[in-house]
Amino acid sequence: MPALLRLAAVTVLLLAALDGRAQAPRDAVVDIAHVIESRYYDAAKATKIATDLRNEASRGDFDRYADPRDLATALSNRLQPLDRHFRVDWSQAEAAPASAQDRPTMRRRNPGTGGPGAGATAAERRGNFGVRRVEVLPGNVGYIDLREFSNFAFGRADQPARRAIEAALQMVSATDAVIIDLRENGGGAPAMVGFLTSAFTPKDAKIYNVFHSRRGTHSEAPSDWYPTPRLEVPLYVLISGRTGSAAESFAYTMKNAGRATIVGEASGGAANPGGQLDAGHGFRIFVSSGSPISPITGTNWEGSGVAPDISATPEMALEVARKSALKAILDQGLPEPEATDTKWALEALHAESSPARIEAAPYVGRYGAFTVAERDGALTLQRDRRPALILVPLAKDTFSVAGDPSRRVIFERDDGGTAIALELRLSNGQGSRYLR
């Protein structure tokens, strides 16, 4: 008999647990609906969204999601068509109470109050505050690979995120064109958006988005302006379907201000900034606390994304932008030898994207201190133990050096068509000739 009683007790406990599990999704949805209703920037829309969620929960639409991770995914899918920033997450660890910042922000950030680096997370530091790579490409084209718009407080020049973007801008300050790559940038903070915008536009230009929230409005214009903006340099911004939020804000503003050429594919379409909020029991939800309105268009990019000026696949966007930038530089007019250097860079880029087939055998041999050889179907040029250079065919007997189009190799032939010498020529006009 005691065994039967114990079995009955276990059965009752199991049924209660199963019943509790079935009810848990409803409770979670109600809690999330409450957060949306109280914090979403559009009060009327928030009430409708919350009411619909409660009705759906009460009729059992979410009961099948016993695993909270599945419920979080289902709610994200349910809400994102209404606002691309909506995202529900669940963590096994107990979520700490949190609240969205009052001012618009794409992600929660602590600008810190101590010295350089104060308040920065390990992830921000390891990611160099979004600045992944800065380079001067052939033809004097500046390139900034920016993966995040990190936050900083205005009024302090020593903050690491600000120093990182200023260092990137300084690296490309003498280039003839600039490309900012946002293809892998999912967003960040309006502070860096405004500051970076001010590096290429006139001070106090009426181009900055204004965020509208329940508590009023807030402009994306920076409090500190970049001191030496480049107002005429050709500017290109690369975007993709991964480009979101603050990254879209920068692209949208620069495009509509007529200040940059946008290259790639339509961006993600997440315009409304906000922050993650605690919804209890491990659930957190990103809720938009504001919505940007452009003074130029009177609207924003929510849902539709930012449309490119030049369409290109994400894989080809950089090459397309580089070609366009080099053409724009040449169209502006350059003195020599800069004009030749830029022209050679453009010609090499075209040759690399559509490599010509050549017969290598006529060129292979020894030319003074240099050896021309064939390797994996390409010609190489090597001097002593120095690394071999790969030659890119441009025209008959004329080659560019891969990675350095400012150098060319030109072969000379005799009347019988045999290669008898090569000339190493630089874009600045210098050169050396070597007999075979």
Which tens digit of pLDDT belongs to each residue from 196-207? 999 999 999 999
Please give the model's pTM, rounded to 2 decimal places.
Answer: 0.86
> What are the tens digits of pLDDT across the range 116-163?
444 678 888 999 999 999 999 999 999 999 999 999 999 998 999 999
If you ran DSSP here, which 8-state letter would residue 129 be given? G
State the pLDDT at residue 354: 86
- Distance, in Å, from the CA atom of 337 to the CA atom of 26, rounded to the nearest integer, reads 71
Per-residue pLDDT of the chain (436 residues; tens, 9 = 90+): 455 545 444 444 444 444 444 338 999 999 999 999 999 999 999 999 999 999 999 999 999 999 999 999 999 999 999 999 999 999 987 544 444 343 444 543 333 333 444 467 888 899 999 999 999 999 999 999 999 999 999 999 899 999 999 999 999 999 999 999 999 999 999 999 999 999 999 999 999 999 999 999 999 999 999 999 999 999 999 999 999 999 999 999 999 999 999 999 999 999 999 999 999 999 999 999 999 999 999 999 999 999 999 999 999 999 999 999 999 999 999 999 999 999 999 999 999 988 888 889 999 999 999 999 999 889 999 999 999 999 999 999 999 999 999 999 999 999 999 999 999 999 999 999 999 9
- The pair of three-digit structure tokens given for residue 409, joined into one six-digit string: 């190799």
Neighbours of 405 (CB within 10 A): 24
* Whole-number pLDDT of residue 2: 54
Instruction: Select from 389, 394, 388 the least CA-distant residue to 410.
Output: 394
**How far apart are the C-alpha atoms of 288 and 432, rounded to whole Å?**
64
Predicted local distance difference test score (pLDDT) of residue 92:
85
Buried b (16+ CB within 10 A) or exposed e, 209-240: bbbbbeeeebebbbebbbeebbeebbbbbbbb
CB 420 within 8 A of CB 435: yes
Dist. CA 220–CA 203, nearest whole Å? 13
Check residue 102 and give its pLDDT. Answer: 39
φ/ψ of 171, rounded to 5, equals: -60, -30
Q: Where are the alpha helices (DSSP H) in 202-337?
A: 246-256, 317-332
pLDDT at residue number 355: 81
Cα 10 from chain centroid (whole Å): 55
Write down the pLDDT at residue 6.
55
Give the pLDDT confidence score for residue 13 in this predicted structure: 43
Give the H/E segment covering residue 25: helix 2-39
Per-residue model confidence (pLDDT) at position 113: 33
Q: What is the pLDDT of residue 110?
A: 36
CB contact at 8 A, 238 and 317: yes
C-alpha to C-alpha distance for 46 and 103, rounded to whole angstroms: 19
